[in-house]
Structure 1
Amino acid sequence: MQASLVVNNRHNKVSEHICHHIIGENSGATIVFFGGIHGNEYAGVKALNNVLKHIEPKDVYGEIYGVLGNIKALEENKRFLESDLNRMWTSARLRDLRENDQLTQEQIEQKDLLGFINVLLATKKGPLYFIDLHTTSSKSFPFITINDALINRKFSSCFPVPIVLGIEEYLDGPLLSYLNTLGYVSLGFECGQHMDPNAVVNCEAFIHLALNYSGHLKLNGIDEHEKVLKDASGDVSSIFEVIYKYHIKPKEDFEMQLGFESFQNIEKGTLLAITDGIKIYSDFNAKLFMPLYQKSGNDGYFIIRQIPYFFLKLSETLRKIKADNLLTILPGITWQDKQNGVLKANLSVTRFMAKSIFHLFGYRNKQIDKSHLLLYNRERVSKKEMYKNELWYKKSRTL
């Protein structure tokens, strides 16, 4: 069977999004690459085309999908037309998608993608991998972003690039967060700056490695792909955590100061941006992450810090023994939904507890009102059994 390329079937809206589907002649897992969730980020789409068009089904174990995200925005080279497709995957927005007959352009795209995902989840019984390919408006190393579940840590540790945890606490409704609530391996790969040709090269190397590590292809020459990413990332493969985000409000006149890059060291007092004529200085001695150099989007910049290896290992141990059961002993903390790993915390009682304590147990928080937090744990919904026989999962080293 030949690899299929479907982009213009107007009778099936879902198939418009499937730009590649390769059914291997050997049994195996299913991997899905999303490209162009933001329409001004074309490097992932180009890299998928460059790599997948050369793959023969006889060499493939399982199935490989290349999926386009925001098709209309890609055609117009805009991040989005009406609303950010990568901020629409909350329970409320999905409910609105089901109940509303008058859909925006991004809701139409989302409904098509959701239909594809639902069919996939209903029909595929083996391991599933979801990978979202992106670029940044600022100059940057290639890097991986993940929701903090151990299966994501383990799979991400295969790649020789920096890994950033915790961004889900600062973003509402990313596609990968939705997929993580379902328990699957899901990660984002940022391959470089939007228009940098090297972003495509980095993305191609990453796709090859992802196909190799997930067992879809048995490549002999992965060293060259690893070297591409090692060189592009300055041989930095540390683990970082987001500790702050500057959120741009509607109609705010935000302008990032020129010349900043992701992973750049900054000191407390560094002038970072000017908004509505007011200068914004860093409150941290840390690293700058994804400074915004485009007009669309409301993520002004993030601040990250490296996570000590001891802290990562401790958190792994605590999660494996489900030590989070002890958290409800603390005053002000109760189960909101134990099966899905959701705690409710009274801020008047727990506000003096450091975030890092909850992070150790795998909890990331979202505020629901002025007095309560909901704390979400990816470990309790993680489909670890699905991946336990994968080679990367059996590796002794875990982040």
Structure 2
Amino acid sequence: MIDIASDFNGEVLRNRVIAKVKGKQNGSTVLFFAGIHGNENAGITALEKTLPMLESNQLSGTVYGIIGNLKALQKNKRYVDEDLNRIWTKERIGQLERKPTLLDEEKEMQDLLNLIQQILKDCNGPVYFIDFHTTSSKSYPFITINDALINRKFAMQFPVPIVLGIEEYLDGPMLSYINQKGYVAIGFEAGQHQDERSVSHTEAFIYLTLNFTGSIKKRNFPNLVQNYDELNQSSGALHKVFEIVYLHKIGQWDRFKMHVGFESFQVIRKGMDLAIHNDQIVKSPYSGRIFMPLYQSQGSDGFFIIHRIPYFALKLSAFLRKLKIDSLLTFLPGVSWDEKDKMVLKVNLKTAIFQAKPFFHLLGYRVRLQEGDFLIMSNRERVAKKKMYRKEKWY
């Protein structure tokens, strides 16, 4: 049964919810988001094509298709006042009720928050958040996740590259807010904005997600094998796990232009000319692979650089986290808990024995900010709702 948002109040919410499809059997709740950036339409098109094909008697649980930035979509712009995918911080959310006048993206966030909270009230099973995007540069389809084991395990089912650690470089993405609540939350970048294959990649991802969450079964959807093969072939031989090691930031009034021809996952060398920033040549500080180079007028992230994570490091990381080795970190000089709930570490760079980010990354900690000689590092593992997903086949 397709229910076009009859459960929601207000014209804005009715426009925002593409569809709600409720199965006859209990099961997972899957929330698909698209159009968080108003110039990225592939996810919306894919949801409009796939959700009407779902039948209640073939579905377990409930599936939602949700539009992110309605105002920006109307103008075909990434955002109107500010990037909707950079304001989901505790401070900004806390200001919503106090501010007399909200910016357009703050209004959008407030509506989305209300909608998410309303949906979560009715959930009685596992919950999944999937956020669809496209890129301004040519790219293989890929997944971005906050580095929690539940995200890793779920994302590893898809035959596309996985990029960890984006939460260490970006403030306020929606999925980071969701991860702080402990839910599985992954972003899928389907390809370039204008590439018709981005819609097809997103459709394939939708069906695979519904299968991996137990919402649909293979016997009812024989094209699932083709969906898997499509993403597998589109990703080449890059079904690997990568980690962000560098972000080139752009100020609000800066002039930035990437050199022509760079694509995500393209191999680059240290010292290679990449862009012009305020009339200065930008050279790559590392060898590695370039990731999401900026080829549009709006945006504050010029480009990222990523490195592949060896398989043994992923296994070691999972092993150490399961043992909760991080509970012993505060016995090291220069390391202390910054919050009573033991989710945030404070590392004194002057006295800490271990200062290298990779050491803390193994245990699930990512730098949230630097205050003088101190690194403030947060961890997603301690809030992850592992019990919610423990009976899922992929866990």
- Mapped to 2, the partners of 1:184 and 1:321 lie a distance apart of 21
Q: Match for residue 218 of structure 1?
A: 217
2:191 counterpart SS class? strand
Trace 1:35-184 onto structure 2 (pairs within 5 A).
Answer: 35-184=34-183
Identify the match of residue 232 of structure 2 among 206, 230, 233.
Answer: 230
Q: Match for residue 23 of structure 2?
A: 24
Deviation for aligned residue 1:10: 8.3
Deviation for aligned residue 1:346: 1.9
- Are 2:346 and 1:344 aligned? yes
Deviation for aligned residue 1:368: 4.5
Does the 8 A contact of 1:160 with 1:235 survive in 2? no
Q: Match for residue 365 of structure 2?
A: 363
Q: Match for residue 260 of structure 1?
A: 262
- Mapped to 2, the partners of 1:289 and 1:108 lie a distance apart of 31
In structure 1, stretches of 5+ residues that fail to align are 394-399
Does the 8 A contact of 1:146 with 1:166 survive in 2? yes
1:381 counterpart SS class? coil
In structure 2, give the amino acid aligned to 1:198. R
- Mapped to 2, the partners of 1:303 and 1:247 lie a distance apart of 12
In structure 2, stretches of 5+ residues that fail to align are none
- Are 2:197 and 1:198 aligned? yes
- Mapped to 2, the partners of 1:93 and 1:10 lie a distance apart of 24
Aligned-residue sequence identity (percent) comes to 49
Task: Indicate how the Cα distance of structure 1 residues 10 and 323 shifts in structure 2: closer, same or farther if over 3 A, else same.
Answer: closer
In structure 1, give the amino acid aligned to 2:95. D
- Mapped to 2, the partners of 1:216 and 1:176 lie a distance apart of 21
Q: Match for residue 328 of structure 1?
A: 330
In structure 2, give the amino acid aligned to 1:375. M
- Mapped to 2, the partners of 1:37 and 1:236 lie a distance apart of 26
In structure 2, give the amino acid aligned to 1:73. A
Q: Match for residue 249 of structure 1?
A: 251
Cα-to-partner distance string for 1:241-277 (whole Å, 9 max, x where unaligned): 0000000012111000000000000011110001111
Cα-to-partner distance string for 1:45-80 (whole Å, 9 max, x where unaligned): 000111111111111100000000001111111000
Q: Match for residue 287 of structure 1?
A: 289
2:172 counterpart SS class? coil
In structure 1, give the amino acid aligned to 2:87. M
In structure 1, give the amino acid aligned to 2:283. Y
Deviation for aligned residue 1:223: 1.2
Aligned length: 391
In structure 1, give the amino acid aligned to 2:135. T
- Mapped to 1, the partners of 2:367 and 2:285 lie a distance apart of 22
In structure 2, give the amino acid aligned to 1:120. I
Deviation for aligned residue 1:6: 4.3
Does the 8 A contact of 2:268 with 2:288 survive in 1? yes
- Mapped to 1, the partners of 2:245 and 2:181 lie a distance apart of 25
Q: TM-score with structure 2 length normalisation?
A: 0.96
Deviation for aligned residue 1:123: 2.8
**Bigger CA drift: 98-107 or 283-292?**
98-107
Q: TM-score with structure 1 length normalisation?
A: 0.95
1:179 counterpart SS class? helix
- Mapped to 1, the partners of 2:354 and 2:380 lie a distance apart of 24
**Bigger CA drift: 243-252 or 113-122?**
113-122
Deviation for aligned residue 1:338: 4.9
Cα-to-partner distance string for 1:100-136 (whole Å, 9 max, x where unaligned): 1311111111100000111222331310000000000
Structure 1 vs Structure 2 CA RMSD: 1.5
